[in-house]
Chains A and B, each alone.
Chain A
Amino acid sequence: KQEVTQIPAALSVPEGENLVLNCSFTDSAIYNLQWFRQDPGKGLTSLLLIQSSQREQTSGRLNASLDKSSGRSTLYIAASQPGDSATYLCAGITQGGSEKLVFGKGTKLTVNP
């Protein structure tokens, strides 16, 4: 059974810092992976999608990478801003498994002005 762990559970940083959020899967055969952002009282917004043939994706100040051999992914946020404060969730689909996204519990990020 696929399980997803996100470390740290919470992170508080001063504005301007670069930071890394981590995600790991018990089953490393990840077919594709998505990083989402969830704001309080709102739904999830897809940030980056790493498809089966890719190793990383970049969007603005965000960069996500996936190491399929270890089943680990990182989300790098450059020059963090207070508006980045939210909970970040990773989710993946296991190769050869059912076509369901399995989510981590998320990392709650607070960027202080």
Chain B
Amino acid sequence: DTAVSQTPKYLVTQMGNDKSIKCEQNLGHDTMYWYKQDSKKFLKIMFSYNNKELIINETVPNRFSPKSPDKAHLNLHINSLELGDSAVYFCASSQWDRVTNEKLFFGSGTQLSVL
């Protein structure tokens, strides 16, 4: 059973399109995250939600809009895709609203290629 699952695994699209990435966790965690791993392999947090409430928004362009219908799901919608959005996007979850004392569990990533 996959603890944190995200779909699709690969996403190839044209500039200007709108796309969504879905994430679900079955661990019963309170907090979910979106991370972006760029071509230089740096992992940076984009958003985190705790019980459907946004708690971290890391100066991400407003073309990116997370949506959390319930605490087990955190989807990422991207409008007007740009070439620079090409990266691997990882969903993650942890038990509390603070990462401080709990391990982070990651999904397997969505490789987004904008042409």
Contacts and interface: CB of A to CB of B under 8 A. Distances in A.
Q: Do A and B come from one complex?
A: yes
Given A42-B108, A43-B4, A43-B108, A100 B45 contact: yes
Contacts of A34: 103-104
B98 A49 contact: no
Interface residues of A, number: 24
A105 B40 CA distance: 8
B43 A100 contact: no
A42 B90 CA distance: 10
B99 to A, nearest CB: 6
B41 A101 contact: no
Contacts of A49: 102-103
B100 A43 contact: no
Nearest to A51: B101
Interface of B: 4, 40-45, 48, 56, 58, 90, 92, 98-109
21 contacts: A32-B100, A36-B106, A41-B109, A42-B109, A43-B90, A43-B92, A43-B107, A43-B108, A45-B106, A46-B104, A46-B105, A49-B102, A51-B101, A87-B41, A99-B56, A100-B45, A100-B48, A101-B45, A101-B99, A105-B40, A106-B41
Given A43-B107, A99-B100, 5 more contacts: A43-B92, A44-B90, A44-B92, A49-B102, A101-B45
